[in-house]
Structure 1
Amino acid sequence: MKKLAFLGALALPAIVVAGLALAQSAAETGAGVKSLRGVQPDVELDVEPVFHQEKQRFVRNYRLQPPLIPHSIDKYQIDMRANECLACHDWKNAGNRGAPTLSMTHYTDRDGIQTENVASRRWFCNQCHVPQADAPALVENLFHSLGQ
């Protein structure tokens, strides 16, 4: 048992040195890492403010495409307990707030039964809907809609 402990004590400095060399190597190669936008990952990019819609809806590029969100949702709470989108877009509030109402599919549960409240499978709006932003493309987009 003492021999095993002695051999382990001899091997420990070699392991530490190898770990330090690996960490230094990773730090050197990490300096050359770039994001898809061509800058260092920790560099802040200037992006135009989120576009705000002026009474017209965005053109959809394919059938059943979820509509884009025409306003910022940065500070919106959307979690298991709360969904701030519903303050304006729930059928009960949309008329008073002048906001588009959710489609009836959002009130249909997984068994196809219409309910008074938003179905749990449609609760997290940003799962399908995203705010429109004027941001540089990460990669070239070759998509063409059928309508073009």
Structure 2
Amino acid sequence: MRGQDPLRLIRPAAMAGLAVVALVGTALSQAEPAIQIIPPLTGWPEPMVQGQVPPLGRPITDDVRRMRNYPEQPPIIPHAIDGYQLTLHTNRCMECHKPEYTEGSGAPMISVTHFQDRDGQVLTDVTPRRYFCTACHVPQTDVKPLVPNNFRGPYLRLGSP
């Protein structure tokens, strides 16, 4: 026994196992993929390919206040905001929507909740967490939806068809 190869009994089993793995691997590589990749809503089917970017939709600028679809929905912006500066030191929205400017501009005043900090303390100016308006409020565009949508919020169920 000393002179014999200790792995001589294991080698045939290992070779058989490798043959099974090779056969299964070959069969799987020739079979149809089980997972079907669904294309994203936007982008191109081939990754890393650059295509023609569709133009942005035309903003709705009728200044009509829209009904909200669900409770606590932030109001939408019913006018174009192209070119508005919204930086740490400048917020063009406040030129019309701050309480002291609403009478002259005719714009709705921002909610009193925008003046409360996390602890409910009322501040003299807009709280930093509510300063960047477009984090919650979005302008609307006149475009076709990407996917069909049958959603009817509680407000729509009560008063409209």
What TM-score comes out, normalization by structure 1 length? 0.68
Partner of 1:49: 58
2:146 pairs with 1:141 = no
- Structure number with greater Rg is 2
8 Å CA contact retained: 1:47, 1:134: no
Residue 92 of structure 1: which of 100, 112, 133 is its match? 100
Residue 68 of structure 2: which of 56, 60, 63 is its match? 60
| 1:1-148 mapped onto 2 (5 Å cutoff) | 36=41, 42-54=51-63, 56-146=64-154, 147-148=156-157
Distance (Å, rounded) in 1 between the aligned partners of 2:102 and 2:68 = 22
8 Å CA contact retained: 2:77, 2:139: yes
Please state how far the C-alpha of 1:112 moved relative to its aligned partner. Answer: 0.7
Equivalent position amino acid for 2:54 in 1: L
Please state how far the C-alpha of 1:132 moved relative to its aligned partner. Answer: 1.0
What TM-score comes out, normalization by structure 2 length? 0.63
Distance (Å, rounded) in 2 between the aligned partners of 1:119 and 1:38 = 37
The structure, 1 or 2, with the larger RCO (C-alpha pairs under 8 Å, 6+ apart) is 1
Partner of 2:5: none
Distance (Å, rounded) in 2 between the aligned partners of 1:142 and 1:72 = 27
- Aligned-pair RMSD on alpha carbons? 2.1
8 Å CA contact retained: 2:58, 2:143: no
**Identity of matched residues, %:** 39
The number of aligned residues is 114
Q: Does 101-110 or 40-49 show the bigger shift?
A: 40-49
| Structure 1 segments unaligned to the other structure (5+ residues) | 1-33
